[in-house]
Amino acid sequence: AKHIVASTDRTRRGEFSFRGLRGLELSGKTLGIVGTGKIGLNVARMARGFNMRVIGYDRYPNEQGAELGITYLPYEQLLGKADVITFHVPESPDTFHMLNQGNIDLLKRHCLVINTARGSVIETRALVRALSEDKIGGAGLDVLEEEPVVREERELVSSLFHQAHDLSAILSGQILLRFNNVIITPHNAFNTTEAVHRTLETTVDNIQSFLKG
Catalytic residue numbers, as ranges = 118, 147, 187
Looking at the DSSP bridge assignments, the partners of residue 139 are 113, 182
- Rounded distance between C-alpha atoms, residue 173 and residue 163, angstroms: 18
- Rounded distance between C-alpha atoms, residue 51 and residue 46, angstroms: 9
Looking at the DSSP bridge assignments, the partners of residue 99 are 122
Closest Cα partner for 69 from 102, 97, 46, 88? 46
- Rounded distance between C-alpha atoms, residue 109 and residue 150, angstroms: 33
Asked if residue 35 lies in contact with residue 12, where contact means CB atoms within 8 angstroms, the answer is: no
Distant-in-sequence, close-in-space partners of 126: CB < 8 Å, separation ≥ 6:
97, 99, 100, 101, 104
- Rounded distance between C-alpha atoms, residue 208 and residue 212, angstroms: 6
Give the residue ranges of DSSP H helices in the chain. Answer: 4-12, 38-49, 63-67, 75-81, 124-132, 159-164, 167-176, 193-211
